[in-house]
Amino acid sequence: MRKLFGGAAVLLGLVAIAGFASGCGHHGHPRDPAQMAAFVNKHVDDLLDDVDATPDQRTKIHAIADRMVAAAQQAHAGHDADRATVLAQWKANQVDRQALHALVDQRIDALRTLAHQAVDAGADAHDVLTPAQREKLATKAERWHR
């Protein structure tokens, strides 16, 4: 179980990177989706190098990572519009609390969906890797979280 969560933690970390890079941007400058995908793929390659992944494993893991990058981008879609809605509500004479609560619920649902997809991606990656490879990634994830 610890190994499964270690692998899932690694993929969740990649998802977090993908999610923040997909448009939150640095100081309001969103990253190009192609740049973000290249960034994630570089980190995935580094992890796959660490575990001496086979070409077949690399293909499968990259497909999982690409799926997660696309999911993160989809979850982030509409973020600018949501930000504009919140700002408009702030500037209004009276705040529509119900509309803002609905917006929060919508964003939480999108994040929940993304988190569930990340768990599935972690389980898929777990199934691709050998026990020894999973142990290496679990050890790396434990070091990251100390």
What is the per-residue pLDDT for 90?
Answer: 94
**What residue ranges do the domains of the chain occupy?**
2-144
- Quote the CA–CA distance of 102 and 79 in Å, as a whole number: 14
What is the per-residue pLDDT for 120?
Answer: 96
What is the per-residue pLDDT for 75?
Answer: 86
Phi-psi region of 30 (alpha: psi -120 to 50; beta: other; left: phi over 0): beta
Cβ contact 62:44 at 8 Å: yes
Cβ contact 85:103 at 8 Å: yes
What is the per-residue pLDDT for 103?
Answer: 94
> Going residue by residue through the chain (146 aa), what tens digit of pLDDT does each one get?
555 555 555 555 555 544 444 444 444 445 688 888 889 999 999 999 999 999 999 999 999 999 999 998 888 888 889 999 999 999 999 999 999 999 999 999 999 999 999 999 999 999 999 999 999 999 988 888 77
Phi-psi region of 87 (alpha: psi -120 to 50; beta: other; left: phi over 0): alpha
